[in-house]
Amino acid sequence: MLSRQALASCRGGLLWYWPQRLPAELLAALGGPMLGLHPSLLPSLRGPDPFFWSIASGSPETGVSLYRVEEDYDTGPVILQSKITIPEAQTALGLSRSLDRLSLGLLPLVAAQLAEGRSWAGVAQSPGSGFWARRPRPADLRVRWSSTVAELERLSRAARPSHTLVADLGGREVHLRSLRCHTGRAPVGMPVGTAFEDAGTACVCCADGVVALDFASTDAG
């Protein structure tokens, strides 16, 4: 642990995707600014899991934000941002890797300017703006067959590979690794939520089509 004197002699610091709030006394003791790199376009998707919510929400783009760290989580003035388009088939893991590369490209610039003692004013974020990107809860990972194919595919990609989806099939709980659009036809008149097999593939009817299932497990194991 650095002494107060050592902290006061620091020209500043940089947090790269740091998931915890820093104590106010530590920030006050620093001799320069504490900067943070966050994997979203602040104030959108503050919080610990912007990867899941970027995909699940269907956002067309995201990026990395360099901001000045304050006591409240991810709320400090934004200094600069770099954007990318989210590919249509992107998963949360793929997005995190893309944003890693984007942020790593900014690190040499930030380090050099910190060493020069540059002032980092930034643009203040609007209070209360943006969606809090919490870690997904069980309800967020619950499959609802009344959703569209596009919505279910997004949820599946947002969950991979860290989370398992949970669904109900005829009163039986199943755990799914993924869902994908199934191009085969469902039997005529089959209601939403009904499971059937097509050419050896387990399928379910949803709001506007059919999805194929990749099982992880069922309530029976």
Q: What is the mean pLDDT of the segment spanning 116-136? A: 83
Q: Which of 20, 81, 92 is nearest to 59 (CA)?
A: 92
**What is the reported pLDDT for 30?**
58
CATH number for the domain including 102? 3.40.50.170
Judge if 25 and 109 occupy the same domain: yes
User: With b meaning 16 or more CB within 10 Å and e meaning fewer, what string describes 139-178?
Assistant: ebbebebebebebbbbbbbbbbeebebbbebeeeebebeb
Q: Which domain holds residue 60?
A: 4-115
SS3 152: helix
SS3 24: helix
Q: Which two tokens stand for residue 143?
A: 């499959």
Q: How many domains does the chain have?
A: 2
Whether 50 maps to a domain, the answer reads yes
**What is the reported pLDDT for 5?**
53
Higher-scoring residue by pLDDT: 32, 40 = 40
The position carrying tokens 């003035």 is 77
**What is the reported pLDDT for 59?**
95
pLDDT-derived band at 17 (thresholds 50, 70, 90) equals: low
- How many angstroms separate the CA atoms of 205 and 192, rounded? 5
pLDDT-derived band at 186 (thresholds 50, 70, 90) equals: confident
For residue 221, pLDDT beyond 50: no
**What is the reported pLDDT for 220?**
41
- How many angstroms separate the CA atoms of 208 and 181, rounded? 11
Whether 61 maps to a domain, the answer reads yes
Whether 122 maps to a domain, the answer reads no
**What is the reported pLDDT for 7?**
45
| pLDDT, tens digit (0-9, with 9 covering 90-100), for 76-118 | 899 989 999 999 999 999 999 999 999 988 888 887 877 777 7
pLDDT-derived band at 9 (thresholds 50, 70, 90) equals: low
- How many angstroms separate the CA atoms of 15 and 200, rounded? 49
- How many angstroms separate the CA atoms of 47 and 32, rounded? 24
Q: Which of 54, 36, 20, 69 is nearest to 131 (CA)?
A: 54
The position carrying tokens 């956002």 is 59
Whether 177 maps to a domain, the answer reads yes
- How many angstroms separate the CA atoms of 17 and 95, rounded? 14
Q: What is the 3-state secondary structure (H, E, C) of 17-72?
A: CCCCCCCHHHHHHCCCCEEEEECCCCCCCECCCHHHHHHHCCCCEEEEEEEECCCC
The position carrying tokens 């809860």 is 137
Q: Which two tokens stand for residue 218?
A: 């069922």
Judge if 48 and 143 occupy the same domain: no
Judge if 143 and 70 occupy the same domain: no
Maximum separation of any 2 CA atoms in the chain, in Å: 75
Judge if 16 and 95 occupy the same domain: yes
